[in-house]
Amino acid sequence: MINDTIVAISTKLGVGAISIIRVSGDNAIPLVNKVFRGKDLAKVDSHTINYGFINNGKEDIDEVLVTVMKAPKTFTREDIVEINCHGGIATTLSILDLLIEHGARQAEKGEFTKRAFLNGRIDLTEAESVMDLIESKTDNSRKLALSSLEGNLKKYINSFRDKLKHVLANIEVNIDYPEYYDIEEVTRKELKEVITSLEKDLKNLVTKSEERQIIKNGIKTIIIGRPNVGKSSILNRFLKEDKAIVTDIEGTTRDIVEGSIIFDGIELSLIDTAGIRDTDNLAEKIGVEKSLSLIDKANLIIVVLNSSEELIDNDMFILDKVKDKNPIIVLNKNDLPSKIDKSKLDFKHIVSTNTNTLDGIEPLKEEIKSMFKLSEIKEDNYTYLANERQLTLAKKALKSLGDAKVSLETDAPVDIIEIDLKEVFDILGSITGESYSDELLDELFANFCVGK
């Protein structure tokens, strides 16, 4: 039910200076008024902060500040009351329980944001960016989410739809007044221009967005190589020099060590796996399989070789496993005389490192920066499709646009082309939530936290 009144604790429940309990719905103000000892909240102006106490009828529970925000200028476009109470589990939960006793319903995950969407305050791309903003760990991911929250992606998608709307209207005229032969000519010419330019822009958006998924998801990196080549030393250099997100380096299994850092504004999660080798030993084989499966999930594979020793079968085994995966080959221990002939390695990215000196892994860092175009990201306008849902839809729209282009090139009647273009128009509309299903909303907001 959309117009019942919901309540949730919006801050993290625990010991802290302040907790915020948020109430939204038609009944928000009278409901809080019943448990508030202070000014009559029914009479205060909108967007005011009011000092008083929460009282359960027998005793005061806490001294609070209550913010009253009347619809429609609120996040949910409903009346919202926020209670700032003293942070602490007992106080916060008592106030929540009291409001539920008085008829508020505990909000579901993301329900405030869902209401903001259903009441037309934000579109789906903005709703999704709310959670992205909360979860962002790097400055770049924050900027990406904020750009979407400010409506830049929505505006961009709508600009595509506006162009389509214009040609669709022309096609309608053409179908309704077929006797005007020259209108058809104009329409076909215009159609070609519009479809070509839309296709180019949409393709560019999809390609860039895929590249830029690392802003949000980070670069999942796996470091592999036989024992003693210097994998742990490389991981430790990274963790020492760049800001570690996870301070403890956990050995998740005997063979795998991982850590996470912020590298040039992007999260780099590093996994150091020990044993990838050709083996008949069953227990070992399972470990090897596990490490190999990590390779498939990684965005970046770093293969470490000891350049002071000749390549042995185990190195070759590893190189063979990654040959189609665009890895960076690291020739480590370059302070020692080299025994590896670089020209015999058929790989695009080869760097030479030494973990004993401070800047010894710099070539590896530079290679990562250029491979993932990290310096370009800093100059970005941050208007990108931010998740799989948006990307899948954009690709679907691109396919229909391609169909329309083929129809046009094969001189199909305009009403056939119109069907494809309408589909592109609708698919783009489902990115922003012009049309949506209840299941989609349930799935989308299930990833939110309660109170947002």
Check residue 359 for interaction with ligand GDP (CB under 6 A). no
Query: Which of 186, 336, 406, 446 forms a contact with ligand GDP (CB under 6 A)?
Result: 336
Q: Burial, 368: exposed, middle or buried (Cβ in 10 Å; 0-12, 13-18, 19+)?
A: buried
Q: By C-beta, is 138 or 355 nearer to ligand GDP?
A: 355
Distance CA 333, CA 308 (A): 6
> Least CB distance from residue 356 to ligand GDP, whole Å?
5
Q: By C-beta, is 303 or 401 nearer to ligand GDP?
A: 303
- Please report, as residue ranges, which positions from 285 to 324 form the binding site for ligand GDP (by CB under 6 A): none
Distance CA 179, CA 177 (A): 5
Q: By C-beta, is 332 or 383 nearer to ligand GDP?
A: 332
Query: Which of 14, 227, 251, 413 forms a contact with ligand GDP (CB under 6 A)?
Result: 227
SS (H, E, C) 52-88: EEEECCCCEEEEEEEEEECCCCCCCCCCEEEEEEECC
Structure token digits, residue 229 = 């080549």
Check residue 338 for interaction with ligand GDP (CB under 6 A). no
Residues in a beta bridge with 38:
52
Number of amino acids touching ligand GDP (CB under 6 A): 15
Q: By C-beta, is 11 or 314 nearer to ligand GDP?
A: 314
Amino acid at 244: A
Amino acid at 49: I
Check residue 229 for interaction with ligand GDP (CB under 6 A). yes
> Least CB distance from residue 162 to ligand GDP, whole Å?
56
Q: By C-beta, is 54 or 222 nearer to ligand GDP?
A: 222
Q: How far is CA 7 from CA 26, 33, 37, 89, 445, in A?
A: 12, 14, 19, 16, 16
CA 372 to chain centre: 17
Specify the DSSP class assigned to residue 132: H
> Least CB distance from residue 308 to ligand GDP, whole Å?
7
Q: Which stretch binds ligand GDP (CB under 6 A): 231-239, 245-253, 285-293, 422-430?
A: 231-239
> Least CB distance from residue 323 to ligand GDP, whole Å?
21
> Least CB distance from residue 253 to ligand GDP, whole Å?
15
Query: Which of 76, 129, 233, 432 forms a contact with ligand GDP (CB under 6 A)?
Result: 233
Structure token digits, residue 163 = 């162009």
Query: Which of 25, 218, 230, 363 forms a contact with ligand GDP (CB under 6 A)?
Result: 230
Specify the DSSP class assigned to residue 423: H
Specify the DSSP class assigned to residue 299: S
Instruction: Give the phi and the psi of residue 248 in degrees, each rounded to 5.
Output: -85, 135
Q: Which stretch binds ligand GDP (CB under 6 A): 175-183, 227-235, 341-349, 390-398?
A: 227-235
Check residue 225 for interaction with ligand GDP (CB under 6 A). yes
Q: Give 104's contacts (C-beta < 8 A, 6+ positions apart).
A: 5, 6, 7, 23, 25, 27, 28, 31
Check residue 355 for interaction with ligand GDP (CB under 6 A). yes
> Least CB distance from residue 361 to ligand GDP, whole Å?
9
Q: Which stretch binds ligand GDP (CB under 6 A): 65-73, 174-182, 331-339, 378-386?
A: 331-339
Check residue 253 for interaction with ligand GDP (CB under 6 A). no
> Which of helix, strand or coil describes residue 24?
strand
Query: Which of 74, 125, 291, 354 forms a contact with ligand GDP (CB under 6 A)?
Result: 354
Check residue 114 for interaction with ligand GDP (CB under 6 A). no
CB 330 within 8 A of CB 364: yes
Distance CA 352, CA 330 (A): 6
Query: Which of 109, 114, 115, 231 forms a contact with ligand GDP (CB under 6 A)?
Result: 231
Check residue 228 for interaction with ligand GDP (CB under 6 A). yes
Distance CA 438, CA 266 (A): 34
Query: Which of 281, 356, 435, 447 forms a contact with ligand GDP (CB under 6 A)?
Result: 356
CB 187 within 8 A of CB 174: yes
Binding stretches for ligand GDP (CB under 6 A): 225, 227-233, 332-333, 335-336, 354-356
